[in-house]
Structure formats: structure tokens, C-alpha cells
């Protein structure tokens, strides 16, 4: 059974949060019933090792990086998933943004 809704987990530096938030609002992500722009934000610490040829927004190739980030959680309809991902990637500063896409079942979200 195809999911009607997905939850996105988007990891972003705090300096890019406003742009991501606006991009999500622009594609109506986080629309739940009579509420719009619903999302959650959690501070996290992320680790990554840029490999040869990488052009990291933060850090240097071949040096382990550790930085504070925000994890943005938002839902979107399946029909809007591709345009939502494209909108986020268009404003996200990372060469390889981490965006987890999780199908939602039994959420009680209105169809």
C-alpha cells in the first residue's frame, strides 16, 4: 500500500534554516488540516568525513567534522514529495544534503 503522507527529516545548519523553512512553506509542506507550516526543529550534533573531491560547506576533505545542526521534521503529501525535495535541495547549502523520507501510516492526517 502506497503511503499518502511522508515525513521528511532534513539536517541543516542553523544559518540555512530560514531558507529551508520558506522553501517548505512555498510548496505547502507541513499542511495539516486547518494548520499550515507545521514543523518541528531539534538541535543535533552531526559528524561527517568529506572524502577526496568533496567540496564541503563546512569542514575540509579528509578531516572528520563535527558541527551543531538542526533536524527539521515536516510532513508532506505523496503527490507533493518530488517538488518538496526539489524545493529544499534548491536552497540547502550542502553538496550532499541529508534528507530522510519516511512513509507515514495511520497518522490520522486528513486525506
Instruction: Give me the pLDDT at residue 111, please.
Output: 63
Copy the grid coordinates of residue 100.
530522510
Residues 9/88, Cβ–Cβ less than 8 Å: no
Range of the domain at 84: 11-104
Residue 4 forms part of a structural domain:
no
Provide the CATH number for the domain around residue 99.
3.30.70.120
Residue 22 forms part of a structural domain:
yes
Q: State how many domains the chain has.
A: 1
- CA–CA dist 88, 100 (Å, integer): 12
Per-residue pLDDT tens digits of the chain, which is 111 residues long: 578 999 999 999 999 999 999 999 999 999 998 999 999 999 999 999 999 999 999 999 999 999 999 999 999 999 999 999 999 999 999 999 999 999 998 766 666
SS3 88: helix
Residue 49 forms part of a structural domain:
yes
Rounded to a whole number of angstroms, the distance between the first and last alpha carbons of the chain is: 15
- CA–CA dist 82, 16 (Å, integer): 21
CA nearest 81: which of 92, 72, 89?
89
Residue 60 forms part of a structural domain:
yes
Residue 111 forms part of a structural domain:
no
Instruction: Give me the pLDDT at residue 105, please.
Output: 84
Residue 50 forms part of a structural domain:
yes
Amino acid at each position: 500500500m502506497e503511503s499518502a503522507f511522508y515525513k521528511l527529516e532534513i539536517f541543516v545548519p542553523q544559518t540555512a534554516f530560514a531558507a529551508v523553512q520558506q522553501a517548505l512553506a512555498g510548496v505547502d509542506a507541513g499542511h495539516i488540516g486547518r494548520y499550515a507550516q507545521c514543523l518541528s526543529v531539534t538541535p543535533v550534533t552531526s559528524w561527517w568525513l568529506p572524502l577526496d573531491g568533496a567540496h564541503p560547506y563546512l569542514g575540509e576533505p579528509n578531516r572528520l567534522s563535527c558541527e551543531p545542526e538542526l533536524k527539521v521534521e515536516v510532513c508532506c503529501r505523496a503527490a507533493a514529495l518530488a517538488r518538496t525535495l526539489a524545493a529544499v535541495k534548491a536552497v540547502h547549502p550542502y553538496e550532499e544534503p541529508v534528507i530522510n523520507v519516511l512513509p507515514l501510516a495511520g497518522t490520522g492526517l486528513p486525506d
